Structure 1
Amino acid sequence: MLSRELFWGIESGWVTYLLGALVIAILGYLYHFKIVRWRSGQEEKASINWKDQTLQLLRNMLSQRLLDDQKTWGIMHIFVFYGFIILFLGTCTLMIDSHIGHFLFGNTFVIFKLILNTAGLLAMIGIVLLFLRRYMLKTAKGENNIKTLLSLVLPFLVLITGFLVEGSRLAINTGDNYGWQFWAFPVYPVVKLVEPLGRDAATTAHVLSWWTHMFISFLTITALAWTKLSHIALVPLNLFHQALQAPGRLREIELSEDYFGTENLSGFTRTQLISIDACVSAGQCEINCPAFNSGKALSPRTIMEKMQKISNSETALVGDIITEEELWACTTCGACQQKCPVLSNPVEKIIDLRRYQVMALGNMPQTWQGALMSLQRRGHPWNAATRSRLDWAKGLDVPVAAEKKQFDVLFWVGCTGALIDRNIKVSQAIVKLLQYCGIDFAILGNEESCTCHMARRAGDEYLYQEMAEKNCSVLNQYAFNTIITACPHCYHTLKNEYALPDVQVLSHAVYLRELIEKGLLKIKTAAHPENTTYHDPCYYGRMNGIYEQPRELCKLAGANLIENEKSREKSFCCGGGGGGIWLDDKPGARIFETRAKQLLEKGNIETIATACPFCITMLETAVSNLEADNVKVKDIAELLANQIQDR
Structure 2
Amino acid sequence: MTAFLWTLVFLSGAGFFGFQIWGRLKVLLKARRDDGRDYSRKTWGPRLKNTLVYGFGQFKFLKGDQPAGILHIFIFWGFITLGLQVVTMFVRGWMPDFILPGLHADQLGKFYALTKDIFQVLVLISVVIFMVRWGITKPRRLYGILPAEQKLNSKPHWEPFLILSFIGGIMLSSFVYDAGRAILTWNLPETQTEMAWSPFTRLFVSWIGLENTERAALFSNVGWWIHNGIIIIFMNLLPSSKHFHIITGMLNVFFGRIEPLGRLPKKDYSADGAIFGRSQINQFSWKQVLDMYTCTECGRCSSVCPAAATGKSLAPRQFLLNLRDTLYENQSKINAGQTEFDTVVGEGKPVIDDVIWSCVTCRACEEACPVNIEYVDKIVDIRQHLVQEASRFPGELNRAFQGLERNSNPWGISSAERFAWAEGLNVPTLSENQKAEYLYYVGCGGCFDNNHKKSAQALTKILKEANVSYAVLGSEETCNGETARRLGNEYL
Q: TM-score range by the shorter chain?
A: 0.7 to 0.9
Tell me the amino acid that sits aligned with residue 379 of structure 1.
S
Residue in 2 that maps onto 1:341: 370
The structural deviation recorded for 1:387 is 4.7
The structural deviation recorded for 1:52 is 3.4
The structural deviation recorded for 1:89 is 2.6
Change over 3 Å in CA distance of 1:439–1:315 after alignment to 2: same
Question: Within 2, Cα distance between the matches of 1:110 and 1:396?
Answer: 73
Question: Within 2, Cα distance between the matches of 1:361 and 1:338?
Answer: 31
Tell me the amino acid that sits aligned with residue 68 of structure 2.
W
Change over 3 Å in CA distance of 1:399–1:89 after alignment to 2: same
Tell me the amino acid that sits aligned with residue 284 of structure 2.
F
The structural deviation recorded for 1:111 is 4.4
Question: Within 2, Cα distance between the matches of 1:88 and 1:333?
Answer: 38
The structural deviation recorded for 1:423 is 4.6
Aligned with 1:288 (options 280, 284, 304): 304
The structural deviation recorded for 1:385 is 4.7
The structural deviation recorded for 1:343 is 0.9
Residue in 1 that maps onto 2:178: 166
User: Structure 1 regions of 5+ residues with no counterpart?
Assistant: 1-10, 464-647
Question: Within 2, Cα distance between the matches of 1:324 and 1:16?
Answer: 52
Residue in 2 that maps onto 1:104: 104
Question: Within 2, Cα distance between the matches of 1:258 and 1:101?
Answer: 52
The structural deviation recorded for 1:324 is 2.0
| SS at 1:131 equivalent | helix
Question: Within 1, Cα distance between the matches of 2:81 and 2:192?
Answer: 25
Does the 8 Å CA contact 1:148/1:228 hold for their aligned counterparts? no
User: 1:444-496 CA deviation, whole Å, 9 max, x = no partner?
Assistant: 23322111222211111222xxxxxxxxxxxxxxxxxxxxxxxxxxxxxxxxx
Question: Within 2, Cα distance between the matches of 1:430 and 1:199?
Answer: 80
Aligned with 1:363 (options 380, 392, 405): 392
Change over 3 Å in CA distance of 1:264–1:107 after alignment to 2: closer
User: Structure 2 regions of 5+ residues with no counterpart?
Assistant: 144-151, 335-340
Residue in 2 that maps onto 1:461: 490
The structure whose Rg is larger is 1
- Equivalences, count: 453
Question: Within 2, Cα distance between the matches of 1:450 and 1:168?
Answer: 73
Question: Within 1, Cα distance between the matches of 2:84 and 2:142?
Answer: 31
Q: Which structure is richer in relative contact order (CA contacts within 8 A, separation 6 or more)?
A: 2
Question: Within 2, Cα distance between the matches of 1:416 and 1:105?
Answer: 67
Residue in 1 that maps onto 2:147: none
Q: What pairs up with 1:9-158 in 2 under 5 angstroms? A: 12-13=2-3, 16=6, 19-44=9-34, 45=36, 46-48=38-40, 49-64=43-58, 65-92=60-87, 98=98, 104-105=104-105, 109-139=109-139, 141-142=142-143, 145-158=157-170
Question: Within 1, Cα distance between the matches of 2:15 and 2:160?
Answer: 23
Task: Please give the TM-score of this superposition, normalised by the length of structure 2.
Answer: 0.81
Question: Within 1, Cα distance between the matches of 2:218 and 2:419?
Answer: 91
Does the 8 Å CA contact 1:352/1:459 hold for their aligned counterparts? yes
Change over 3 Å in CA distance of 1:127–1:315 after alignment to 2: farther
Q: What pairs up with 1:324-403 in 2 under 5 angstroms? A: 324-385=353-414, 387-393=416-422, 398-402=427-431
The structural deviation recorded for 1:119 is 2.2
Question: Within 1, Cα distance between the matches of 2:132 and 2:81?
Answer: 24
Question: Within 2, Cα distance between the matches of 1:130 and 1:369?
Answer: 49
Between Structure 1 and Structure 2, the one with more helix by share is 2
User: 1:168-211 CA deviation, whole Å, 9 max, x = no partner?
Assistant: 33444432579875653323444344339954444334333322
User: 1:95-138 CA deviation, whole Å, 9 max, x = no partner?
Assistant: 69837868624696554433322222222222222222122221
Question: Within 2, Cα distance between the matches of 1:421 and 1:203?
Answer: 80
Question: Within 2, Cα distance between the matches of 1:316 and 1:359?
Answer: 15
Residue in 2 that maps onto 1:234: 248
Change over 3 Å in CA distance of 1:414–1:16 after alignment to 2: same
Does the 8 Å CA contact 1:171/1:192 hold for their aligned counterparts? no
The structural deviation recorded for 1:26 is 2.4
Alignment of 1:194 with 2:188, yes or no, is no
Does the 8 Å CA contact 2:278/2:284 hold for their aligned counterparts? yes
Change over 3 Å in CA distance of 1:454–1:18 after alignment to 2: same
Change over 3 Å in CA distance of 1:418–1:302 after alignment to 2: same
Question: Within 2, Cα distance between the matches of 1:421 and 1:227?
Answer: 50
Tell me the amino acid that sits aligned with residue 70 of structure 2.
I
Question: Within 2, Cα distance between the matches of 1:390 and 1:201?
Answer: 87
Question: Within 2, Cα distance between the matches of 1:436 and 1:113?
Answer: 64
Question: Within 2, Cα distance between the matches of 1:209 and 1:90?
Answer: 13
The structural deviation recorded for 1:371 is 0.9
Tell me the amino acid that sits aligned with residue 370 of structure 1.
R
User: 1:205-262 CA deviation, whole Å, 9 max, x = no partner?
Assistant: 4333322332222222222323333111111111011052431221111125841111
Change over 3 Å in CA distance of 1:284–1:112 after alignment to 2: closer
Q: What pairs up with 1:401-550 in 2 under 5 angstroms? A: 401-402=430-431, 405-420=434-449, 423-434=452-463, 440-463=469-492
Alignment of 1:203 with 2:217, yes or no, is yes
Change over 3 Å in CA distance of 1:179–1:418 after alignment to 2: closer
Q: Which stretch shows the higher mean deviation, 428-437 or 361-370?
A: 428-437
Seq. identity, %: 26
User: 1:300-352 CA deviation, whole Å, 9 max, x = no partner?
Assistant: 11111111111236342222222222211111112111111111121121111
| SS at 1:461 equivalent | coil
The structural deviation recorded for 1:17 is 5.4
Question: Within 2, Cα distance between the matches of 1:396 and 1:114?
Answer: 69
Tell me the amino acid that sits aligned with residue 142 of structure 2.
K
Does the 8 Å CA contact 2:415/2:475 hold for their aligned counterparts? no
Question: Within 2, Cα distance between the matches of 1:115 and 1:431?
Answer: 58
Does the 8 Å CA contact 2:242/2:294 hold for their aligned counterparts? no
Does the 8 Å CA contact 1:355/1:460 hold for their aligned counterparts? yes
Does the 8 Å CA contact 2:124/2:171 hold for their aligned counterparts? yes
| SS at 1:39 equivalent | helix
Tell me the amino acid that sits aligned with residue 248 of structure 1.
G
Q: What pairs up with 1:595-634 in 2 under 5 angstroms? A: none
Question: Within 1, Cα distance between the matches of 2:223 and 2:465?
Answer: 81
